[in-house]
Amino acid sequence: MYRIAICDDKIEDLEQMNELVRQIMPTFDLAYEVDRFLSIQQLLEAFDSAPYQLILLDILFEGPEGLVWAKEVQRRGYDCSVILVSSSTDYLLAGYDIHAIHYIVKPPDRNKLQSAIRYALLHGPRPDEKITLQASGSVQVLEQQRIFYLESINHDVLVHAEGCKEIKCRGKLEDFEQRLSGIAAAQCHRSYLVNLARVRAIRYDCVELSGGKKLPMSRTYKEPFKKAYLDYKITV
């Protein structure tokens, strides 16, 4: 679940931003939730209990309090993207100092906000979606983003992932595809299901993954795979 926090001490501005975000997020086909806060202290307390991947933060809380809070986020080591929002451009350079990904001037422009959120989704933190695997009599929990590809051999599926040995599970590729809600995946061959985020290049007869691994591309799956990859790149 991608978690977004909106913080503004003006209720009408808070509701306007909330409405825009709820119009924009469905275009990314991603499970999300939005929380609204009228004070930075409320936001800070909520952040301590559950992380947010994106914060839309008004700067002007009786002065540039939003900048102070954004620096506190960095000091505490929270991993999140910050979009600064203000009725003034006076703090634009300060936004660069705290590595805000965008600076939105009120009233917010939908296209600019959508572009900023798309950038956050592409370059910022994402929630850790996990998959539970039954492997050789044991249970393993794996972050889906770490997966490179799944390989079908006879009645088994081998899960190839970053930082671990291949995990051998019983089942079919189509069963695993339905369970991979945290990543975009597509088959390049009847025996291979690929995490599209790990694709480096699509060749004539193979798919090259980050790290250099090459998987065969069959004619049956070539066009559907290319379409799935292009759709994925447009989304992110």
Burial 169-197 (b: 16+ CB within 10 A, else e): beeebeebeeebebbbbbbbbebbbbbbb
Domains, in order of start, for the chain: 2-123 (3.40.50.2300), 130-235 (2.40.50.1020)
Q: Is 76 left (phi over 0), alpha (psi -120 to 50) or beta?
A: alpha
Confidence of residue 236 (pLDDT cuts 50, 70, 90): low
Mean pLDDT in residue range 30-50: 82
Q: Which helix (H) or strand (E) holds 214?
A: strand 214-216
Distance CA 162, CA 149 (A): 10
Residue with tokens 């620096």: 71
Name which of 121, 117, 100, 86 is nearest 23 in CA terms: 117
Half-sphere exposure of 46 (CA within 13 A, CB side): 18
How far apart CA 50 and CA 40 sit, in angstroms, is 15
Helix, strand or coil, per DSSP, at residue 226: helix
Pairwise pLDDT comparison (73 vs 161), residue with the higher score: 161
How does pLDDT run across 154-183, given as a tens digit for each residue? 989 999 998 888 999 988 998 888 788 778
Quickly state the pLDDT bin for 64 (edges 50, 70, 90).
low
Which residue has better confidence, 71 or 205?
205
The yes-or-no verdict on residue 63 having pLDDT over 60 is no
- Check whether the bond before 107 is cis (ω within 30° of 0): yes
Nearest by Cα to 57 from 72, 70, 74:
70
78 three-state secondary structure:
coil
Q: Are 136 and 109 in contact (CB under 8 A)?
A: no
CA distance 151 to 161: 11
Phi/psi of residue 124, each to 5°? -95, -175
Q: What's the whole-number mean pLDDT along residues 179-195?
A: 90
Q: What is the pLDDT of residues 210-229, one digit of tens each?
A: 888 999 999 999 999 999 99
Q: Judge whether residue 129 has pLDDT over 80.
A: no
In this prediction, residues 25-34 reach a mean pLDDT of 86
Quick one: average pLDDT of 59-77?
A: 65
> What mean pLDDT comes out for the span 38-61?
80
